[in-house]
Each structure stands twice: as structure tokens, then as C-alpha cells.
Structure 1
Amino acid sequence: MAERAVSPTSGAVRWVVVDSQTYVLHLEVTGYLASLRARGCSPNTERVYAGRLALYLNYCHMRRLQWNAPGFTGLSLLQQWLVDTPLPARIKLPAPHTVRCRSRGTANAVMTVVAEFLRFGALHGWVASRTTDLLAQPKLLRFTPPGYDPGERGQHRHIQAAAFRFKSTQAGYEDLSPAQIRHMIASVSRARDRFLIALLACTGLRIGEALGLHREDLHLLASSRIVGCGIDGPHVHVRRRTDNPNRALAKSRFPRNVPVTAELVTLYTDYQYERDRVPQALGESMVFVNLFRTARGRPMTYPNTKEMFDRLGRTVGHACRPHMLRHSAATRWLRDGVDRDVVQRLLGHVSPLSMSTVSQLVQAAIP
């Protein structure tokens, strides 16, 4: 099982995989998770990968397979087992209740992590090459995505594709209308939550980027030259920091700045008034802090934020996820005629291929 481990000396938080009976570390998986940290992956990525690899090890134990030599049949059955096996109910429900299973997209994500782990094992001599040879197969790209260079003779159309992957339709582009966003903001009673919702909708920040903001990142005056910033107008700086106490991490390694509206500045002023009434929060440098629960004044975490958005979704009667607000910002910018290159920079996309996908999805979503 995947476990959260805290160092007794430094307090550093890591994710590990242990035997559920003896709590002995699975050294190879734990080593792979350590490599994710070395590459600068977020703690949330580490947590998700730990859970998926624990699931793989449990499957191998159940099928009496060696995890480092599952064979073609073992991997094929794992792929099908992932979508056929019912998930445990979130709460105890009286029978009969709806049985939930993993989607094909989720199964593909698990198989991708397993394949990466096995390839990592091959580099360290834990996994034989005959196993990793099973993970990919040659494929000819008949249709290429926008911006893809097939080569002068089409040589780049021949690629190695994942061998164990379901064909699945692309997920729909989920955004929120301006009226829905206004309703969300009006439906929360706390100034902090109103500011967070409006910030995500205005700037298109990822939730990790928002939770990782420091107060020094908010330049909300008409001119910020007094603090050494030459950018005119109110704006937000997005910076990647690896030492945030709430483990929030900006995905992009490149800093950027995003302009904000006067309305957002007003909502931040309301939040500041609410925050200043909590003495524990006065010395905290992070923007978003706990004000209404234990550990007041401490930075908000991913679970805190998810709980807030889940409650909000039940209140307004539709799904409310932070990433939908990011999509809403992209939709608004493209509808308003903002150049795609500018939108790419505002969203923090490094690859133009990511922006091409966003543009296609947005165009499909615009009536």
C-alpha cells in the first residue's frame, strides 16, 4: 500500500510503498518514487504514482506473478482487470447501490505508470529487457497533430506506441460560463473562497500555482516600481518553488506573469480584511491560509481546497473543479481574439502542441 512518510529529523514528506502486513519498504518502487522527486515532480504526482504502483503490486500478488516479469499475458489481463474490477464504495451504502469501475482512461493512466516503472527497473538491472520489449509496438501515424513535423520523407510518422492501451475518446472540454462563475462566487460566504474562485477564473492558474502563491507575488497596484517590478498594471507573478510548506508546486519551471482585473483586486481587499482578523495568519507569507479550522494561519493544502470545491458543487448543482476555471479563462481569451501564442504564455504551456490541443477543444466548445 502507498503510505505518506515523514522524516523524524527534517520533517520532509515523502511517499513510499510498503507491505501491508509487515510495513517493509518495497525498495524498487520507493527508489522509483525518489527519482520522481529528483526530477522535480510535484508531491501530488508522487502520491498518485505510489497508489498506482501499489495497485500493480497487489495485482501481481493476487495473480502470483513476479512484478518484474509479469509477461505478456499478465500485462494484458492487468489492463482488463483494471476496468472490470469494481471500486470500493466511498461510503457504506445500503444494497443495491451503483457499482463504480475505472474508466478506460484511468486504466490507461495506470498502465503508463507501470510501464515507466518497469523501464526504470530495466535501467537498474531489476527488470529483463524482454519485459520492457513488450511495452511498446511500432505504429504509423496516418494523421499528425497540428505543429508535428513528420520529416522530409515522413520518417517521423513511424513511432513506438504503448502496447497496452485502450482506445478511448478524448475527454470533453469542461469549462464554466461567466454566469456559472458569478453564481459560484455569490454562493460562498467567505471572502477567501470568493477570491480563490475569481483568481482561477481570471488568470487561468493551475490550483497548485494558486496555492503556491506568496504575498510578494501579488502586484495589484497600477505601478509596482516601488518594489522593483517594471510591469505596468495589476498582475500576478507565478513562480515555481520547491519549499512551500503546503507542498504546492507550480507545474511550469518557467516564471510568468498574468494581468488581473480591478474586480479581482477588490475581492483581494475583502479577503485581506477577513484574514487580518485571524492573529495566527498575520505573519504567514503564503496567500491562501486556513482561517476557519484547526491549524489556523497555516497554508491551505490540496485536500482543503478539494473539500471546498466539492461543497460548492453540491450547493450550485453542477461540477466545480479548479481546472474547469482554467479552461474558462482559456476560452474567454480565445473568444476575445487574444493571439494563441499569448494565451500559451498566460497558461504556462511550454509546448505549442499543448496549445494546439487547447485551441481545438475550445473551438469545439464554442457554439
Structure 2
Amino acid sequence: MVVDAGTYGLHQEASAYLASLRARGCSPNTERVYAGRIALYLNYCRMRRLAWTEPGFLGLAGLQQWLIETPLPSRSTRCRPGPARYRSQGTANAVMTAVGEFLRFGAAHGWVPAATTTLLSEPKVLRCAPPGYDCGESGQLRQVRAAAFRFKIAEPGYEDLSVEQIRRMLALAPRARERFMIGLLACTGLRIGEALGLHRGDLHLLASSRAAGCGIEGPHVHVRRRADNPNRALAKSRFSRTVPVTADLVALYTDYQYERDRVPQAASSPMVFVNLFRPPLGRAMSYPSTKEMFDRLARTAGHACRPHMLRHAAATRWLREGVDRDVVQRLLGHASPLSMEHYRHVDAAEARAAVEHVNWLRERS
């Protein structure tokens, strides 16, 4: 929810926008992130004495600069503050995107004048069309509407983790539950929402699951989208899928089950990942508690450790090992093959091997 800074009541328009995200089936994590970005915009308008419905061109341009020039609150709890931190241009772009969607939603409901939404985009000619885009027979579809308030930044690419880093994470994880979660994400490429939404009945870890009414052979995991999970975890894909798992992951789950069985409050929960070490015991793990867990692990390991990095690592490893792209797409639960473009990374060793393979300066017989 978003609270009005003046009345301390719910900001009705912002709350209605967040409710629309919920109605569209967006995950609670998406809703939470968008709530923070909309609140940031409303606070900016309040500080600059702007009407949020009519910020004007200068107001929106000022917001774009304010986002990267305003220091973020210090994370340090010590008396001596740490170095100043600033938002990146990429983060500012994400905030401006959320603000644009919010204003368009307001225009559709008559709260925001049409003149405001016309400022949000401008005509642009696509010189390099994305893969699969149809420019028309004479290129008439190359002119599109592009975001007007957006920093031009280099594509950072997707971050993943090496096999050595994942093994180090497993070694440093203090509890069996954490080790199973890391192994599950690295082995299957599941999104964190999909993992947190797993029910115990979704894990078919025997050689044969026919006794459970499942004809799929070998240990595997069922990924299903459910809107009634107690932790509001939501699978992004609307299509159910199964993902095979390895014997090593089954062993990690056995260790986790032993750890879980020692907490009586966890016995009645159908969810796979539950609170075992702090109240409320037995309740399904939430997004914030999972992020806190990975943040602690990152500080111990000395490098970034985010759940989505394990998904990228799984996809990159499969593609590098020669797994067919259609198979990888199915394993990851992507609806479009275009979503696969970001996963394949060429590392330094592969680049050197390619150059050495075609060495035109080498004498040939």
C-alpha cells in the first residue's frame, strides 16, 4: 500500500494502481517494488510542490535527475556514516517506467489529464530492430513510441555464478534448508517465486511416482501457479511444467527434511520452505526473509548472491553444454524464445579457444 504523506491515509489512486497489478496476477514482490517507486514519485512531487497528476515536462525531467543525484540512506548502523550511495541510471530508468505506467493508469480512469501522458513518450526510428520484429514491407513499422525520460545506458547483461561460487555458497550455508534452496535453484533454474510457492506434494523425488498418480519417471519437481499460497508466492508462468532433478539434490532435500522434522510447528504446513529458526515457526517463508538470507550469505561469501543469479547460472550452463535451446526454454518456463537471448554468455576461455582454432598466422600444410 501507499500512504499519503499529508493525511497519513491510503493514497487512493496509488492503492488502486497496486490493486490492478494484483488483479493482473503480478507477484507480490512486483507489487512491493512498484509501491516503493510510486511512493518515491509522490514524495518528490510533494517536496517540489507539484501536482502529481500534472508534473509537467520540467517536473518529470527534474525527477529523472533527482533520482541519480540524491544520496540514498546509509546502510551503516555505526555512529560514523559510510560513503554516500546513489541510484544507478538503470534504477532511475526502472522508477521512471513505473511512474509512466502509474500516470497512464490514472489517465485511463480520468485522474490524470491526457496532456501529461503525451509527455511520457516520443517518436523513435528503429535503426536496429530486435530479433523477430516485423518492420513491414517498406519499413513503415520502424517508427515507434519510445520512453522520453530514460537514460541511455549500456546493457549490463545478466549476472550468473560460476560452479566454484555455487559450491562455495553450499559450503558456507549454515543450515540444511539454505543448502537445499541453493541447490534447487542451481539445479532447476526455478524463479524464487516458484521455489517459495512449492508444496511438498510437488516434489516427486522417487525413481517412480506412479504410486502418487504421476507417470513421469525419475525424480522431478512440478512447478504450478497458485494464487492462494499463504506467503503469496506466485509462479510467473501460467503454464505448469515439470523439471527433472538430480540425486544430489534429493540428498540435500533429505537433510532438510531431517532438520524440518525437529520443528513440530512445521509438520502441518504443506509448503516446502517454512520458518524453522525464528517465529512464527512453521509459517511459509516470505520474499523478504529469503532476501535477508541471501544477503547474509553474500556478506560471508564476499560476492553477490541473489536467487536469480542461480537461475542464470543454470541456463548458461545448459546452453554451454550444448543442450538444445528449446529444451532450455521449456526447463526455464519461458513463453517466448526471445527471452533466451540474454542467457548465453561467452567467457574469456571460449573466446581464446575460438581465436586459437582459426589462427591464420599459423603455417598450414
TM norm. shorter chain > 0.5? yes
Report the Cα offset of residue 96 of structure 1.
6.2
Scaled by the length of structure 1, the TM-score of the pair is 0.92
Give, in whole Å, the separation in 2 of the partners of 1:366 and 1:138: 42
Alignment pair present for 1:85 and 2:105? no
Match of residue 13 from structure 1: none
Q: Which moved more, 1:309-318 or 1:17-26?
A: 17-26
Match of residue 101 from structure 1: 86
Match of residue 280 from structure 1: 265
Report the Cα offset of residue 151 of structure 1.
2.5
Match of residue 176 from structure 1: 161
Give, in whole Å, the separation in 2 of the partners of 1:323 and 1:334: 17
Report the Cα offset of residue 97 of structure 1.
3.1
Match of residue 60 from structure 1: 45
1:59 and 1:78 in contact (8 A); partners too: yes
Give, in whole Å, the separation in 2 of the partners of 1:48 and 1:190: 29
Query: Rg: which structure is higher?
Result: 2
2:5 and 2:43 in contact (8 A); partners too: no
Sort the Cα spacing of 1:365 and 1:37 in 2 relative to 1 into closer, same or farther, 3 A: farther
Match of residue 293 from structure 2: 308
Give, in whole Å, the separation in 1 of the partners of 2:68 and 2:101: 20
Aligned residue among 291, 294, 300 for 2:276: 291
1:146-188 per-residue CA deviation (whole Å, 9 max, x = no partner) reads 2222222223322110010000111233111112111111112
1:95-130 per-residue CA deviation (whole Å, 9 max, x = no partner) reads 563111110011001100111111111111111111
Match of residue 218 from structure 1: 203
How many residues are aligned here? 350
* SS at 2:145 equivalent: strand
Sort the Cα spacing of 1:20 and 1:134 in 2 relative to 1 into closer, same or farther, 3 A: closer
Match of residue 353 from structure 2: none
Amino acid at match of 1:240: R
Match of residue 9 from structure 1: none
The gaps in structure 1 that reach 5 residues or longer are 1-15
Report the Cα offset of residue 189 of structure 1.
2.8
Report the Cα offset of residue 47 of structure 1.
1.2
Give, in whole Å, the separation in 2 of the partners of 1:350 and 1:155: 28
Q: Which moved more, 1:136-145 or 1:146-155?
A: 146-155
1:173 and 1:365 in contact (8 A); partners too: no
Amino acid at match of 2:245: V
Amino acid at match of 1:171: P
* SS at 1:139 equivalent: strand
CA-based RMSD of the aligned residues comes to: 1.5
1:1-367 alignment to 2 at 5 Å? Answer: 16-95=1-80, 97-359=82-344, 362-363=345-346, 367=350
Give, in whole Å, the separation in 1 of the partners of 2:250 and 2:42: 49
Scaled by the length of structure 2, the TM-score of the pair is 0.92
Give, in whole Å, the separation in 1 of the partners of 2:127 and 2:342: 18
Give, in whole Å, the separation in 1 of the partners of 2:16 and 2:177: 39
Report the Cα offset of residue 56 of structure 1.
0.7
* SS at 2:122 equivalent: strand
* SS at 1:159 equivalent: strand
Match of residue 12 from structure 1: none
2:185 and 2:195 in contact (8 A); partners too: yes
1:139 and 1:161 in contact (8 A); partners too: yes
